[in-house]
Structure 1
Amino acid sequence: MAETGAVSSFAPTPPGKPHTGVLAAAASGLTAFIEKQGGDPDRVLGRSGIDPETLSQPTLSIALPNYCHVLEEAARQSGCDNFGLYYGQQFKPKALGLLGYIGLCSPTLEQALINFTRAFPLHQLDSTIRLVDLGDCYRFDYQIRHGAILARRQDAELTMGMVANLIRHVHGSKWAPQAVHFEHPRPEQWQEHGRLFDAPIHFEQPCNSMVIPKRDLQRDMADHDPLLLKVMQDSLLQLSLAGRGEQQSLVDATRGQVRQMLLGGEPPLEHVAEQLGLAPWSLQRRLRDEGVGFSQIVDEVRKEMATHYLKQPQLPISQLAFLLGYSEISAFSRAFRRWFGLSPSQWRQQSERHS
C-alpha cells in the first residue's frame, strides 16, 4: 500500500479503463464505512485519486496502488488504526461481486474456497494468491506483488476478513480459523485481531495467511448454482483478459521482489532475477536501460520502508534493522544517517512533532 503523502502522486483512474488493478467490488460500501468511522469520504477518496463514480460500478477497475492507499488514508484520516480489520469483518461475500458469487455458487464449502482462490488473481492483479494443502488443513496465502506499494497493512487485514467471511457464511459468525499470519509488524491495538478472528495471530511473517481445517469445509453451499457459477467465472476471465496489455514496470517488479526478500537479509541479485524469470545479467542490463541500478533499488526500498516503520510508534527502533534486512543495528544506523543526516530516533521525534 502506498505511503500517505502528496495527492498529486495518485492520478484518478478513468471510468471505463480496462481491468488493470482490482475490481471496484472490493471497495463496496467503502464511503459509508469511512463515514461510520468518523472520516470524510470525499477527502479520503480525493487524496487517493479515486473517482467516487467508480465505486458504484463493481466491475470497473481501480489501480492497485490507489486502492491500497485509500484504505491507509481512511485509517489515518478517521483515526481508526484497525480500519481494514473492521472493514473486512463486515464484508460479506455477495459484496465482492463476481468473486464472491463464484464462492457462493460452488457445490461445497471446500470447492468454494478452491474456486475463490483460483479466481482471485483475475479479480486482483499483481498479487500472489494460493491454497496450500497441509494435509488436515489448507493454508490460504495472500501477498501483493506490486513494487510501487509499500504500505499495505489495511488491505491484508481486509482480505483475511473477506476469506473468513466466506466460511462464516456457512458456519456462522462464531467460526474461527486455526491461525492467521500477517506480514506487517504487530500494530498497537493487536489484541483486536485475536478477538475478531478468535485465533492465534502471528505478525512479521513471510506472507499473509490463514490456516483452515479441512474438517470445517465438508458442507454443501446452500446457493449452489452450476450455471451461474460458469457465468461468473467466464465474466471475470473476460474482464481480466481486457487488462492484460498493461503490466507494472520492471523497476516496480524488482522493487516488489526486493521488499519481500528483506526479512531474509539483503536480497541477492541472482534470487531477484530468478523470481522475475530473467538471467542476472539481463536484469542488470534492463534496469540500466531504465536509468537505475539494482543496488540503488535496494537502497531506495530500505529508505522508504525505514520511514514507513518509524511512523509506527509501537515498533522499537531496535527491530528495524532486522525488518530491513540488515545483519547489525549499526549498519542500519549508518545507512539512515546517510539518507537523512539524522539518527532514527531523532527522525522519529521530529516526525512526531510535525504530525
Structure 2
Amino acid sequence: MIGRREPYIRPNCLFGFDDLVHSSGGDLHTLADQAGLPREAFSNPDILISWPRQGIFCELAAQELGRPNFGLDHAFSLPNTYPTAGAAIFLSQITHTFEEWLDACERYARYYTNAWVPLLIRDGGPFAYVRLLKDPLAKSPRQQTEGLVATFYRMARTVIDATDEKAHLIRFRHARPCDTQPHEALFDCPVEFEAAHNELVFPHEYLNRPTNGRLAGLEPLLDLYLRYRIAKMPLYDQSVAATVAAGIPIVLNTSLCNLEYFAVSLGLSPKKLQRLLQQENTSFSAILDKVRESLACEMLETTDVPISNICGLLGYTALPAFNLAFKRWIGVAPSIYREFNRRKEKDCDS
C-alpha cells in the first residue's frame, strides 16, 4: 500500500516494460515481486503505484537483464503517443505553442503524480530550461531518471514536430556512467552528469514553436490509447458508453474531459455522440460520475494518498465538491469510508 507521504504515479509509466523484459529473457512478475510492485500494476492502468518502487524495478531490470541503459532503452522504444506520460501528449492538441504546452504539462503533472513536475525556467537569457523531479534533495535512481528525462525529451520534439531541432544540453544529477556513448547518440547533444538538476536546456526561441493546435488530429491519439486500455480490460461490451468510460481516466484532470473532446476524438459530432449515449440510457456526465466514483473508492481502499490529492486526481478543483459527490455516491464522507475499510482489513488479518 502507498503510504501517506510516499511519492506515487499512475502505472501508465510501466507501458512497454513487459516487451522489454521479455525480449531480454526476463520475467516481468518476478522483477515486480522483487521490487515490491503489485502485479496488478501491469494490467490495471487506473490504480496508483509507488514511484520509489518503480525506480527499484528499473534498477533490478538493468542489473538482472544485462541492460545497463534500461531507462534509455525503454524511453526510446515508446510509440510517439507516449502512453507512459498520461495525458501530456494530448495536451499538445489544445495548446498553440511549445511554451503553452510546457505550462499545461506542469499543471497536469501536479495531479498525475507527486513525484516529479516539469518546471519551465525562463531567465531572460538565450536558453530556457525544463527541470524534472520535484524534490531537489531526493535523487531518484539512475535508470528511472534517465528514462523520465529521455521520454520528456522525445515527447517535446514530437510536440513541435522537430526535424533538426535538438536540445542544447541534457543534465543529470547522478554520477557519470562508464559508457556515455548511448546517451550522446540518443540525445544527439552534449550530456552533463553530476549536475545540480535533471534538466533539458534548449534555445529560448523554441518556446514560440507551434504545437498541433486546437482539437486537431485527436482520433489516432485516442484510438491508440483506447486500444491499450481495452486490451487490459477483463470485460468490454463494445458499447459507446464503455468506450467513453475507458478513455475518461487519462484526461480526467485536464480540460479535455468533456463531451466535445470525446466526440471529435471518435470522429463524431457532439450531438451525434450525445444521441448514441442516450440510446444506451446514459450521458457523458453520468459516465464521468461513475468513473470518478469507481476510482475514488479504489484509491481510498488501496492507498493512503491524502484525500486532497485524490480530489485533484479526479478532476475536482475543491475538496468540498469532492466530499459532496462522495457522500452522494456512498452515503458517507471519504475519510469515514477509508477508515471503515482500514478497520475491515484489520479484522480480516486478525
- TM-score scaled by length of structure 2: 0.57
* Residue of structure 2 aligned with 1:133, choices 122, 138, 155: 122
Give the alignment partner of residue 14 of structure 2, picking from 27, 33, 43.
Answer: 27
Distance of 1:186 and 1:53 partners within structure 2: 34
Query: 1:112 and 1:129, CA in 2 relative to 1: closer, same or farther beyond 3 A?
Result: closer
Cα deviations by residue, 1:283-320 (Å, 9 ceiling, x for unpaired):
xxxxxxxxxxxxxxxxxxxxxxxxxxxxxxxxxxxxxx
Residue 179 of structure 1, aligned match among 163, 166, 169:
169
**2:101 corresponds to which residue?**
112
For 1:301, the equivalent position in structure 2 comes to: none
Alignment of 1:16-95 (within 5 A): 21-91=8-78, 92-95=80-83
Judged with a 3 Å threshold, the aligned counterparts in structure 2 of structure 1 residues 31 and 59 are, in CA distance, closer, same or farther, namely: same
Are the structure 2 counterparts of residues 150 and 117 from structure 1 closer, same or farther at C-alpha, using a change threshold of 3 Å? closer
Q: Is the 8 A contact 1:103 1:116 kept in 2?
A: no
For 2:116 and 2:54, locate their aligned partners in 1 and report how far apart those are by CA, in whole Å. 13
Secondary structure of the 1:233 match is coil
Indicate the SS of the match to 1:220.
coil
Q: Which residue of 1 aligns with 2:183?
A: 193
Say which SS state the counterpart of residue 138 (structure 1) adopts: strand
**What is the match of residue 164 of structure 1?**
153
Corresponding letter in the other structure for 1:67: Q
Q: 2:145 is matched by which residue type in structure 1? A: A
1:154 aligned partner, one-letter code: Q
3-state DSSP of counterpart to 2:130: strand
| Aligned partners of 1:99 and 1:116 also within 8 Å | yes
Preserved CA contact (<8 Å) 2:108 2:253: no
Distance 1:142 1:152 in 2: 14
Q: Is the 8 A contact 1:20 1:246 kept in 2?
A: no
Secondary structure (helix, strand or coil) at the match of 1:127 reads coil
Task: Please tell me whether the aligned partners of residues 62 and 69 of structure 2 are also in contact (alpha carbons under 8 angstroms).
Answer: yes
Q: Distance in 1 between matches of 2:148 and 2:204?
A: 20
Change (3 A) 1:20 1:205: closer
**Aligned-partner Cα distance in 2 for 1:150–1:43:** 25
**Change in 2 beyond 3 A, CA 1:32/1:200:** same
After superposition, where does 1:141-290 map in structure 2 within 5 Å? 141-143=131-133, 145=135, 152-169=141-158, 170-172=160-162, 175-222=165-212, 224-225=214-215, 232-233=253-254, 243-245=305-307
Instruction: Report the equivalent of 2:275.
Output: none
Write the deviation string for residues 2-37 of structure 1: whole angstroms up to 9, x where unpaired.
Answer: xxxxxxxxxx669xx9x9601111111211122234
Partners of 1:38 and 1:223 in 2: CA distance: 42
- Conserved? CA contact 2:97–2:207, under 8 Å: yes
Measure the CA separation in 2 of the matches of 1:127 and 1:28.
18
| Alpha-carbon distance between aligned partners in 2 of 1:80 and 1:173, rounded to the nearest angstrom | 29
SS of the counterpart of 1:161? helix
SS in 2 for 1:171: coil
Change in Cα spacing, 1:100 to 1:13, as seen in structure 2 (3 Å) is farther
The answer for unaligned runs of 5 or more in structure 2 is 219-247, 258-291, 310-350
Query: Could you give the per-residue CA deviations for residues 253-287 of structure 1, whole angstroms, max 9, x where no partner exists?
Result: xxxxxxxxxxxxxxxxxxxxxxxxxxxxxxxxxxx
Deviations 1:93-144 (A, max 9, x none): 4412223323443222221122112322322214354211033332011135
Q: Deviations over 1:223-248 (max 9, x none)?
A: 63399998651689x8899733499x
Q: 1:36 to 1:66 in 2, by over 3 A?
A: same
For residues 177 and 55 of structure 1, the distance between their equivalents in structure 2, rounded to whole angstroms, comes to 32
Task: Give distance in 2, aligned partners of 1:157 and 1:129.
Answer: 14
Q: Mind listing any 5+ residue stretches in structure 1 that lack a counterpart?
A: 1-11, 248-355
Q: Is the 8 A contact 1:82 1:189 kept in 2?
A: no
Aligned partner letter, 1:177: A
TM-score by length of 1: 0.56
% identical equivalent positions: 21
Change (3 A) 1:151 1:115: closer
